[in-house]
């Protein structure tokens, strides 16, 4: 293989996917937190998060798989749809994308606008325990991972609208759990604003819950619901990456 061919392979297998996996969480955090800062309305917040993911899965899912979420990446790794090495690289750039968005938001809005909402950092609602929050984050991410596998991995489903369906799942999660946990269902979305605003209360819930939910859904699909001859080709369909 020539040097030029090696460089082309690196761009296709690593550089382009990592760029996209940085952009996705950036957009999710920027749009979602922006809606929290400016509106505080659950409908606007749910739609901002859902549309951000849906649109960018549709726009660039064919390049990276459109994970945009460390829990989703781990769920796909559990199902052996992505290598451990690439999964770690994806998670790193996903977190960096969310942090970058939080920094831009701090530059774009005065502190008196973002500080009252802790820069959109997800936190447990009044009257909700850590255990309840953990369950809700796990269940919400299970739903998300289930839809990713069902619409983007299993080729028996329609491939016309996986981005829309994945985005709508996030919207649904925020409607039913937003008031209790913020419905991050995404560790990168949680840690980006937390790091920039120094809001660390119960941050572990937003890692353990989503990862557990995604791992369970990933294992269920990969080892129970899918059959080898009916799996989608593990190339660049949304939700799948080599």
82 phi and psi, to 5 degrees? -150, 145
**Contact, 90 vs 72, CB < 8 A?**
no
Residue 35 contacts residue 45 (beta carbons within 8 Å): yes
Which CATH code for domain 3-230? 1.20.1080.10
Q: Does this model's pTM top 0.85?
A: yes
Q: Tell me the pLDDT of the chain (242 aa) as tens digits.
A: 676 767 777 777 899 999 999 999 999 999 999 999 999 999 999 999 999 999 999 999 999 999 999 999 999 999 999 999 999 999 999 999 999 999 999 999 999 999 999 999 999 999 999 999 999 999 999 999 999 999 988 877 766 688 999 999 999 999 999 999 999 999 999 999 999 999 999 999 999 999 999 999 999 999 999 876 555 444 444 445 44
How far apart CA 84 and CA 81 sit, in angstroms, is: 10
Map out the domains of the chain as residue ranges.
Answer: 3-230
How many beta carbons lie within 10 A of that of residue 2, not counting itself?
7
Tokens matching residue 106: 């701090």
């Amino acid at each position: 293989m020539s040097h030029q061919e090696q460089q082309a392979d690196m761009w296709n297998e690593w550089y382009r996917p990592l760029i996209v996996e940085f952009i996705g969480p950036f957009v999710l955090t920027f749009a979602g937190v922006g809606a929290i800062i400016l509106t505080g309305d659950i409908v606007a917040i749910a739609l901002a998060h859902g549309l951000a993911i849906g649109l960018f899965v549709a726009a660039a899912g064919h390049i990276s798989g459109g994970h945009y979420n460390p829990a989703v990446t781990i769920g796909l790794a559990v199902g052996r749809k992505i290598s451990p090495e690439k999964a770690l690289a994806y998670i790193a750039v996903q977190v960096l994308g969310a942090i970058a968005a939080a920094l831009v938001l701090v530059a774009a809005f005065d502190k008196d606008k973002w500080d009252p909402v802790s820069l959109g950092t997800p936190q447990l609602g009044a009257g909700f325990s850590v255990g309840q929050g953990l369950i809700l984050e796990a269940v919400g991410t299970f739903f998300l991972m289930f839809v990713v596998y069902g619409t983007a991995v299993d080729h028996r489903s329609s491939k016309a609208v996986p981005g829309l369906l994945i985005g709508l799942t996030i919207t649904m999660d925020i409607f039913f759990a937003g008031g209790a946990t913020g419905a991050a269902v995404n560790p990168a979305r949680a840690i980006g604003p937390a790091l920039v605003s120094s809001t660390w209360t119960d941050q572990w819930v937003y890692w353990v819950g989503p990862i557990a939910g995604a791992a369970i859904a990933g294992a269920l699909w990969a080892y129970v619901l899918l059959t080898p001859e009916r799996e989608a080709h593990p190339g660049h369909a949304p939700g799948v990456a080599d």
